Amino acid sequence: MNRMALALPPCILLLAGVTYVKAEVAVMPWELVQYAENNGCHQVDDFFVAHKDMVDPPYVYGYLPGKKQDSAVFWCQTDDGGRRRFWLLVMDNIGRKASESCDKKVEVTGAYPGGLSLARRGFITGVTTLDDFNYVEDVKRKIQRGVKITGPIIVSDHGGTKVLFYCYRGAWVFQGID
């Protein structure tokens, strides 16, 4: 007991001389944080303040065909003069383009980012066509009826409100579901 008591003061003295450096807290795996920074944005630092649980984080792996760890889609943000702008960013570790050549980074306006998951060809969401989807770049523009979904749907869920994102013929389209 006395030996331990004698050993503690030198440790405390050593710690007293250490300068505290605030570490960045990552809300995503470090490779995604770095990928975001390399693409002009950064993680959504307060994501888990708005999302009280850890289900459906701001990223999901396996968006593109191949090994799950070789691709991901996630939320990032930029700060433009105090105004936050949110982006969906597709990461591809082996150099493919996003499905059907959509831009890998797309700005999403009008809502705070939701937790992300993937749905394949309508499974989970029940959506099998693009009938009620609009273009992200031109929200008034609709897609012709009857177009079938053939690839992965990105599902963003915030408080029970879902927004579905899909890459269609080189353009991002979306649909909101309550």
Give 131-177 pLDDT, tens digit per residue. Answer: 999 999 998 998 989 999 988 999 999 888 899 999 999 999 999 88
Residue 5 has pLDDT above 60, yes or no: no
Helix (H, G, I), strand (E, B) or coil at 33: helix
Q: Which residues contact 14 (CB under 8 A, 6 or more apart)?
A: none
- The HSE-up count of residue 136 (CA atoms within 13 Å, CB side) is 24
What is the mean predicted confidence (pLDDT) over 83-110? 84
Helical spans, DSSP H, in the chain: 2-16, 30-38, 47-50
Residue 121 has pLDDT above 80, yes or no: no
Q: Residue 101's pLDDT band (boundaries 50, 70, 90)?
A: confident
Q: Residue 40's pLDDT band (boundaries 50, 70, 90)?
A: very high
- The HSE-up count of residue 88 (CA atoms within 13 Å, CB side) is 30
Where in the chain are the domains? 27-177
| pTM of the full structure | 0.81
Q: Report the mean per-residue pLDDT for the chain.
A: 81
